[in-house]
Amino acid sequence: MKVVLAATNVAELLRRQAVRNETRTALIDGDRRVTWSQLDRMVDELARGLSELGAVAGHRVAICMVNRIEFVVSYLAALRGGRVAVPIHPTSTPGAVARVLADSASRLCFTDAASVEVVRAAVSWRAAAPAGPPTLIVVDAPARTGELRYGDVTAVGAEVMSPRDAEAVGLLLYPCGTHGPRAAMLSHRALLANIDQASRIRPAPMRPDDIVLGAVPLSHSYGLNAVLGQVLLQGSTLVLGKWFDPEEMVQLVSAEGVTCVPVAPPVVAAWARRDDVAAKLAPVRTLLSGAALLAADVVRQFEQRTGVTVQQGYGVAEAGPVVTSTLGSPEHKPGSVGRPVPGVELRIVDDTGSDVRGDDPGEIWVRGRNLFSGYWPDGQGAPGPGGWLATGDVGVVDADGDLFLVEGLT
């Protein structure tokens, strides 16, 4: 009997789907369709190409693109070779991109037609930096001198095997993918743990037969690990939306028969005002709202118009990001973001670090294998004594164990 080892690299989830669901569609990007076996081969080819460019385990690889097949391939190719992915939101300013590239010391940066001019401006600012600017790998736009075309980077060869080091950092997440405080270092252990934890909610957020909307930016932990991560685990089909636009998204849902819709509150609010929203969302089985709290009246209006229950959750990038979900709560309560997902513990504490009693608010502390390894590059801010992470967010937990956010939602 063949023993299947526990995954130690996120890219191993792709390899398993390529074996189990070889001909099933993995990604839909406009007119393009990619099966799981094709995606696995594309990731191998790019991972080999990155090696030929001199990128070794531990090197940082930035990705500044809209949601597209090449983003997914670039991310998984970086991880498969033991490198560290650094996602950057494609609408970032040149200054924000320059700060991320400089702070992460990224050696390579994938970019596309939507963001290439901003990235070029950022790179020109970095030209005088001691480490020098990263080499740009350009998708769907002409490459200039010193840059590489995406199609020229791939290389054919033997199957690429990922390093089996679960504690290796796989992802640097900057706040909103663009600017602000230091980047959270997420190991493969943390990323895989949170993918597993979220999958054990009942009912599960995604199923193998789901067609999932992939319009939440992959530059954000919500889109990258809570959405793409679940798709990789379940073998679902991901329909990529390039822009987080309510109109584009509702058309994708209708056209592709999307059954699982992860979104953010502004999208739900925009859809709740549509007269045709029930017809457009007819295929939807599950709607997941994250990244901020939805107003109770918006939830009520949306659910009355569509008959689709809005499932909400709470998370922080440092936790990979999912902490709680209403999917795990038998009763939906207005304002609640649900209960901790399996494998995640939660405390509400006062200024002294003692547990708050009753329904008084306090700081949300979190513990689990999904927690980050500290902030780049020195690991400061890692979970403290006992493995608890102080989130800085404030909440209340009721007698049933459901969390209500008071302020400071991440």
Q: Model pTM?
A: 0.94
Please tell me the least confidently modeled range out of 184-193, 206-215, 278-287, 356-365. 356-365
Cα–Cα distance for residue pair 68/72, rounded to 1 Å: 7
Average confidence (pLDDT) over 377-383: 94
Structure token pair of residue 320? 């990979």
High-pLDDT (> 90) share of the chain, % = 81
Q: Domain map of the chain by residue range?
A: 11-177, 184-407
Q: Do domains 11-177 and 184-407 have the same CATH topology?
A: yes
Paired with 289 in beta bridges are 263, 312
Q: Which of 120, 156, 108, 116 is nearest to 140 (CA)?
A: 116
Homologous superfamily (CATH) for 184-407:
ANL, N-terminal domain (3.40.50.12780)
Q: Where are the alpha helices (DSSP H) in 214-281?
A: 221, 229-234, 246-256, 265-272, 277-280
pLDDT tens figures, 115-136: 999 999 999 876 655 567 899 9
Q: Which fold has domain 11-177?
A: Rossmann fold (3.40.50)
Q: Which of 55, 51, 49, 17 is nearest to 36 (CA)?
A: 17
Q: Reduced to 3 states, what is the DSSP secondary structure of residue 372?
A: coil
pLDDT tens figures, 133-182: 899 999 999 999 999 999 999 998 888 888 989 999 999 999 853 334 69
